[in-house]
C-alpha cells in the first residue's frame, strides 16, 4: 500500500518538475544478512531479558500475593515491574535502531524508494519526499562503509541550496543508481573541466591539482611521465611514482568532491599521455 502510494506521489512530482520518462526504480530490499542480524539481535535480547525474571522470583510470586501489603507491593514492583519496564525500553530502542539503520535492510527498516528519471530523481522515505534535478546537484560524494569484510560504496548528494541527500547501502543496487547520477553530473560539468585542461589551466580538487604537465599535492609536483600508475578503489586514490616503492600519494576517496569528474579527467589523460589508470574493488 505504502509502496504504491510512494510511486503515485513520485509520478505527480515527476509531472510537476518535468523530469521526463521514468528510467528505473530503486528501493530497500530485505537481505539475508539483514534478517540474520535482526533475528540474532532479537533472540539475544529475548534470552537476556528472560534472564532478568528468574525461576525463584516466579515461585515467590504466590507467597507475595498471599501476604499482600504495601511492602510486598513494592517488592513485586521491583521484582517484576523493573524487568518489564526494561523489556519495553529495550524493545523500543531496538525498533528505533533498526527502523532507520544505515547499514542493514531488516524487516522493520523504513522503506526507501528512489525513482530515477531522465531529468533527475525523486526520493521517498516515510513522510520525506525530495525532488532533485540534475541541474541542482553541485557535488556527488563517494562514501564507503564496511559490512562484515566487504567494503560497500554509497553516495551523498549536495545541492546548490545547501541541502544534502544520502543514498545508503540499504538501497538495492545503490552503486548502479550512483553511477547513473555521476554520468549525468559528468555530462554537465566535464566539458568545462576538459576545456580548462586543454587550455593549460589547473584543475583543482581538494588537496590535488592537475594540469598538462603533471599532478601536484601541497608538497610537490609529479610530472605525468614519472607516474607509474593511478589506482582508484572504493576507499582511496593511490598514485605511484616510477622507480619508487612507496606510494607518492594515498588519499581517501571521500576527500574528493565529484570524484567522478576526477576519474573522467584521469581517463582523458590516460588516452592522451598513456597514463596507467586502474580500478580496484
In this structure, are 13 and 66 located in the same domain? no
Q: Domain tally for the chain?
A: 3
What is the spatial distance between Cα 113 and Cα 258, in angstroms, rounded to a whole number?
A: 24
In this structure, are 239 and 171 located in the same domain? no
Q: What is the residue range of 229's domain? A: 200-276
In this structure, are 20 and 53 located in the same domain? no
In this structure, are 233 and 263 located in the same domain? yes
What is the spatial distance between Cα 261 and Cα 281, in angstroms, rounded to a whole number?
A: 19
CATH of the domain at 125: 2.30.29.30
- Residue 88 is assigned to a structural domain of this protein: yes
Backbone angles phi, psi at 192, to 5 degrees: -65, -40
* Surface-to-core class of residue 67, CB atoms within 10 Å of its CB (0-12 exposed, 13-18 middle, 19+ buried): exposed
Residue 136 is given by DSSP the state G
Render pLDDT for 80-125 as a digit per residue (tens, 0 to 9). 566 666 667 766 766 666 677 777 777 778 899 999 999 999 999 9
Q: Tens of pLDDT along the chain (281 residues)?
A: 445 555 556 566 666 668 899 999 999 987 776 667 667 777 776 666 666 544 444 444 555 455 544 555 555 555 556 666 666 776 676 666 667 777 777 777 889 999 999 999 999 998 889 999 999 999 999 999 988 788 899 999 999 999 999 999 999 999 999 999 999 999 999 999 999 999 999 999 999 999 999 999 988 999 999 999 999 999 999 999 999 999 999 999 999 999 999 999 999 999 998 899 988 76
In this structure, are 172 and 268 located in the same domain? no
pTM confidence score: 0.77
In this structure, are 18 and 123 located in the same domain? yes
pLDDT score, position 56? 46
Render pLDDT for 4-41 as a digit per residue (tens, 0 to 9). 555 556 566 666 668 899 999 999 987 776 667 667 77
In this structure, are 126 and 8 located in the same domain? yes
In this structure, are 261 and 133 located in the same domain? no
Query: 203 - beta bridge partners?
Result: 210
What is the spatial distance between Cα 12 and Cα 212, in angstroms, rounded to a whole number?
A: 47
Close Cβ partners of 40 (under 8 Å, ≥ 6 residues apart) = none
- Residue 194 is assigned to a structural domain of this protein: no
In this structure, are 124 and 253 located in the same domain? no
With CA atoms as reference, report the closest residue to 183 among 260, 120, 270, 269: 260
Backbone angles phi, psi at 52, to 5 degrees: -70, -30
Asked whether the beta carbons of 145 and 103 are under 8 A apart, the reply is yes
In this structure, are 114 and 19 located in the same domain? yes
Asked whether the beta carbons of 151 and 157 are under 8 A apart, the reply is no
The last residue of a domain, from among 161, 188, 215: 188
The last residue of a domain, from among 188, 220, 239: 188
Amino acid at each position: 500500500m505504502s509502496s504504491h502510494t510512494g510511486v503515485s506521489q513520485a509520478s505527480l512530482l515527476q509531472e510537476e518538475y518535468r523530469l521526463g520518462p521514468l528510467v528505473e526504480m530503486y528501493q530497500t530490499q530485505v537481505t539475508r544478512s539483514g534478517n540474520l542480524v535482526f533475528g540474532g539481535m532479537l533472540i539475544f535480547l529475548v534470552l537476556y531479558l528472560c534472564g532478568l525474571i528468574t525461576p525463584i522470583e516466579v515461585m515467590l510470586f504466590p507467597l507475595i500475593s498471599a501476604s499482600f501489603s504495601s511492602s510486598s507491593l513494592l517488592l513485586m514492583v521491583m521484582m517484576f515491574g523493573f524487568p518489564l519496564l526494561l523489556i519495553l525500553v529495550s524493545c523500543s530502542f531496538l525498533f528505533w535502531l533498526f527502523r532507520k539503520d544505515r547499514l542493514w535492510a531488516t524487516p522493520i527498516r523504513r522503506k526507501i524508494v528512489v525513482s530515477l528519471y531522465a531529468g533527475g530523481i525523486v526520493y521517498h522515505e516515510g513522510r520525506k519526499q525530495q525532488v532533485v534535478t540534475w541541474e541542482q546537484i553541485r557535488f556527488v560524494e563517494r562514501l564507503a562503509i564496511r559490512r562484515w569484510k566487504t567494503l560497500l560504496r554509497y553516495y551523498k548528494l549536495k545541492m546548490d541550496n545547501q541541502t544534502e541527500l544520502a543514498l545508503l547501502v540499504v538501497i538495492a543496487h545503490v552503486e548502479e543508481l550512483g553511477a547513473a547520477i555521476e554520468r549525468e553530473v559528468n555530462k554537465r560539468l566535464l566539458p568545462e573541466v576538459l576545456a580548462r585542461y586543454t587550455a593549460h589551466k589547473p584543475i583543482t580538487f581538494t588537496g590535488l591539482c592537475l594540469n598538462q604537465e603533471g599532478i601536484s599535492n601541497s608538497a610537490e609536483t609529479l610530472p605525468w611521465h614519472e607516474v607509474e600508475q593511478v589506482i582508484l578503489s572504493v576507499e582511496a586514490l593511490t598514485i605511484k611514482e616510477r622507480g619508487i616503492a612507496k606510494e607518492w600519494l594515498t588519499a581517501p576517496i571521500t576527500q574528493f568532491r565529484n570524484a567522478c569528474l576526477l576519474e573522467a579527467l584521469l581517463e582523458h589523460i590516460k588516452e592522451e599521455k598513456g597514463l596507467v589508470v586502474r580500478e580496484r574493488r
